[in-house]
């Protein structure tokens, strides 16, 4: 569980504020010797469970769409939320997982991971 605690801290230390409706950071890495053992899946599921328990409505991240889609992440542009670095583009790797149904209805804006 120690590897879960570090993801939990990284994910949960940022809170909602008036200016930033949602803010999250999910940093994930697994040593190559431990690939294909389900460790990344367990860490992500644990972090998403903690986010839901804490009352988060959505989690945003930048990552490989082919990897994160299996956890329910979709490109954020589908909700009218674009990335500040290139707001004219539909960036597939800027993703969101909605934890509360309808939470992003009517929400538009920018994400910025810098």
The most confident of 21-30, 91-100, 103-112, by mean pLDDT: 91-100
Residue 12's pLDDT is: 39
Q: State the pTM of this model.
A: 0.76
Give the rounded percent of residues in the chain with a pLDDT score beyond 90: 14
Average pLDDT over residues 4-15: 41
Contact 12, 100 (CB under 8 A): no
Q: Where exactly are the structural domains of the chain?
A: 2-111
> Can you tell me which residue has the tokens 């972090």?
47
pLDDT digits (tens, 9 = 90+) for 34-89: 788 888 888 888 888 888 888 888 888 888 899 999 999 999 999 988 888 787 88
Helix (H, G, I), strand (E, B) or coil at 73: coil
The CATH code of the domain at 2-111 is: 3.40.630
Residue 65's pLDDT is: 92
């Amino acid at each position: 569980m120690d590897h879960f605690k570090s993801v939990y801290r990284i994910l949960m230390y940022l809170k909602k504020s008036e200016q930033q409706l949602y803010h999250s950071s999910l940093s994930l890495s697994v040593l190559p010797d431990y690939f294909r053992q389900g460790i990344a899946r367990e860490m992500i599921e644990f972090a998403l469970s903690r986010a839901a328990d804490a009352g988060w409505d959505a989690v945003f991240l930048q990552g490989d769409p082919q990897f994160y889609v299996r956890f329910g992440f979709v490109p954020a542009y589908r909700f009218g939320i674009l990335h500040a670095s290139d707001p004219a583009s539909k960036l597939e790797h800027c993703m969101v997982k909605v934890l509360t149904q309808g939470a992003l209805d009517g929400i538009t804006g920018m994400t910025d991971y810098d």
